[in-house]
Amino acid sequence: MKKFSFILAALVCGASIASADFLSISGGVGIEQQKIDGYVKNGNTINYFGTHTPYGGNVGYLGLKDKNNPYVWIKLINPIPVIPNIKFQYTKYSSTGHSNYIAGNVKIFNDVNIPTAITDAGTKMDINSYDLTFFYEFHPVFADIEAGAGFDYWSGKTTITGTAGGLHKTWLDSSWSVVLPYLYGHIETMQIFGFSALATLKWAKAGENHHYDYLGALKYTMDVAGPVNPFVKVGYRYKEAYGVDGSNITKLRYKGFFAEIGAKF
Tens-binned pLDDT, residue by residue, of the chain (265 aa):
444 343 333 333 333 333 345 789 999 999 999 999 999 999 999 999 999 777 888 999 999 999 999 999 999 999 998 999 999 999 999 999 999 999 999 999 988 999 999 999 999 999 999 999 999 999 998 999 999 999 999 999 999 999 999 999 999 999 999 999 999 999 999 999 999 999 999 999 999 999 999 999 999 999 888 789 999 999 999 999 999 999 999 999 999 999 999 999 9
Q: How far apart are CA 202 and CA 185, in angstroms?
A: 7
Domain boundaries, the chain: 2-260
Cβ 158 vs Cβ 177: under 8 Å: no
CATH of 2-260, one of 2.40.50, 2.40.128, 2.60.40, 2.160.20: 2.40.128
Q: Is 43 exposed, middle or buried (0-12, 13-18, 19+ CB in 10 A)?
A: exposed
> Is the whole-model pTM more than 0.85?
yes
Does residue 146 contact residue 86 with C-beta atoms inside 8 Å?
A: no
Provide the CA 188 distance to its chain's centre, in angstroms. 20
